C-alpha cells in the first residue's frame, strides 16, 4: 500500500497511527478502502460520521482492557456485534467540523476558559450509537438498596439476545470512573447486564481536556479488584481513546463552563 498522506500544516500526528480510511469487516476488524467520502453529520458545531460501511478511524481506540470475560462472553455473537458498534461509533467522531480526522487544540485544561470540553465529544459518540439502535440514558436495571442512593442511568445501552450491553463515556473525574465501573460490576454480578464498557481518555488526550478528567492510567491499579468480582457470564472492559493529531490551527472544543457553550 502506498505511504499514507501527511497531515496538514501545523498538525502533529499522534504516534503509531496509520492515516488511511477503513471499512469494518464482519469480524470487527478494519481494512483499507477507496476514496474519501466525508458523509458528515453536524450538530452544535461538532461533526460525526453517519452510520454506514465507510468511516475513518479518527478519534482512536488505542487499547481494550478485558477486565472480566466470564465464559468467553466477549466472543459471543450478540456481545461481539454490540462491541463492534461501539468501536465504529468511537471511530466516527471527528474534529473540527467538516474534517475527516480528530485533531485537538493542544492546550492544557487546568485553567478556566482553556483546554477542551468533553461533553461535545461524548454527545457525538452517543449520536453514533443511537443511530445504530442504542438507547440513550437507559435506566440502570437494578434498583438501589432501601435508604441508599439510586443508581444513575447508563450513558447508552442496547438489548441483545444475550442480555443488556452498557456503555459509559467518562466526562467526570476519577471518582466518576470508579462509580461507573462499580455500577457495571454490580449489573454483571446480579444478571442485569451481559456486558459493560467504560470509555476513558489516555493521559496523552486527558491533558488537553477538562481538568482532572478520569483517564486510563489512573484506573490500571484497580483492574485486579474488579476482575475478582464473581460473575457467572459476562464481559467488562475499559476502552482507552486518544486523538489522531494536535494542531494550534483548529478551534478549541468548548467546555460547558464557556459562555458560548451555554447558549
Residues 61 and 243: their CA atoms lie apart, in Å, by: 9
DSSP characters for 92-122? TEEBSTT-SSBEE----SSSTT-SB-SHHHH
> pTM surpassing 0.85?
no
In a domain, 35, yes or no: yes
Cis peptide before 96 (omega within 30 of 0): yes
Query: Residue 257: what pLDDT?
Result: 54
Q: Which residue is catalytic, options 85, 168, 170, 242? A: 170
| 3-class SS letters over 18-63 | CCCEEEECCCCCEEECCCCCCCEEEECCEEEECCCCEEECCCEEEE
How much is the pLDDT for 256? Answer: 64
Entry field: residues in the chain = 263
Residues of the chain scoring pLDDT < 70: 1-58, 256-263
Domain-embedded: residue 183? yes
CATH number at residue 98: 3.40.91.20
Nearest CA among 41, 36, 42 for reference residue 55: 36
pLDDT one-digit tens code per residue, 47-68: 333 333 333 335 788 889 999 9
Q: How many domains does the chain have?
A: 1
Burial classification of residue 41, based on how many CB atoms lie within 10 Å of its CB (0-12 exposed, 13-18 middle, 19 or more buried): middle
Residue 4 located in a structural domain? no
Active site residue 170: yes
**2, part of any domain:** no
Cα 178 from Cα 161, distance rounded (Å):
28
Cα–Cα distance between 91 and 68 in angstroms, integer?
24
Residue 196: the pLDDT is: 97
Q: Does residue 92 lie in a domain region?
A: yes
Longest dimension (CA), the chain: 63
Quickly count: other Cβ atoms within 10 Å of residue 91's Cβ. Answer: 23
Residue 11 located in a structural domain: no
Cβ atoms of residues 260 and 115 within 8 Å: no
**Close Cβ partners of 111 (under 8 Å, ≥ 6 residues apart):** 211
Which domain covers residue 190, as residue numbers?
A: 20-254
In a domain, 262, yes or no: no
In a domain, 90, yes or no: yes
- What the block records as the C-alpha cell of 12 is 502533529
Amino acid at each position: 500500500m502506498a505511504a499514507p498522506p501527511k497531515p496538514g500544516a501545523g498538525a502533529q500526528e499522534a504516534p503509531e497511527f496509520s492515516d488511511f480510511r477503513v471499512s469494518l469487516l464482519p469480524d470487527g476488524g478494519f481494512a483499507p478502502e477507496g476514496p474519501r467520502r466525508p458523509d458528515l453529520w453536524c450538530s452544535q458545531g461538532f461533526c460525526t460520521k453517519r452510520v454506514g460501511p465507510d468511516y475513518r478511524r479518527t478519534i482512536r481506540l488505542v487499547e481494550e482492557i478485558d477486565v472480566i470475560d466470564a465464559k468467553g462472553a466477549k466472543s459471543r455473537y450478540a456481545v461481539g456485534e454490540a462491541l463492534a458498534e461501539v468501536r465504529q461509533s468511537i471511530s466516527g467522531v471527528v474534529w473540527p467540523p467538516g474534517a475527516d480526522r480528530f485533531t485537538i487544540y493542544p492546550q492544557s485544561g487546568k485553567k478556566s476558559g482553556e483546554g477542551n470540553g468533553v461533553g461535545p465529544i461524548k454527545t457525538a459518540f452517543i449520536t453514533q450509537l443511537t443511530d445504530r439502535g442504542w438507547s440513550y440514558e437507559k435506566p440502570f436495571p437494578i434498583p438501589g438498596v432501601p435508604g441508599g442512593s439510586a443508581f444513575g442511568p447508563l450513558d447508552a445501552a442496547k438489548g441483545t439476545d444475550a442480555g443488556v450491553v452498557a456503555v459509559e463515556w467518562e466526562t467526570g473525574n476519577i471518582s466518576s470512573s470508579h462509580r461507573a465501573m462499580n455500577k457495571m460490576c454490580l449489573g454483571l454480578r446480579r444478571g442485569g447486564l451481559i456486558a459493560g464498557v467504560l470509555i476513558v481518555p489516555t493521559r496523552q488526550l486527558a491533558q488537553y481536556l477538562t481538568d482532572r478528567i478520569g483517564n486510563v492510567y489512573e484506573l490500571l491499579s484497580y483492574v485486579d479488584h474488579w476482575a475478582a468480582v464473581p460473575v457467572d457470564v459476562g464481559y467488562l472492559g475499559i476502552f482507552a481513546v486518544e486523538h489522531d493529531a494536535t494542531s494550534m490551527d483548529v478551534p478549541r472544543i468548548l467546555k460547558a463552563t464557556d459562555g458560548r457553550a451555554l447558549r
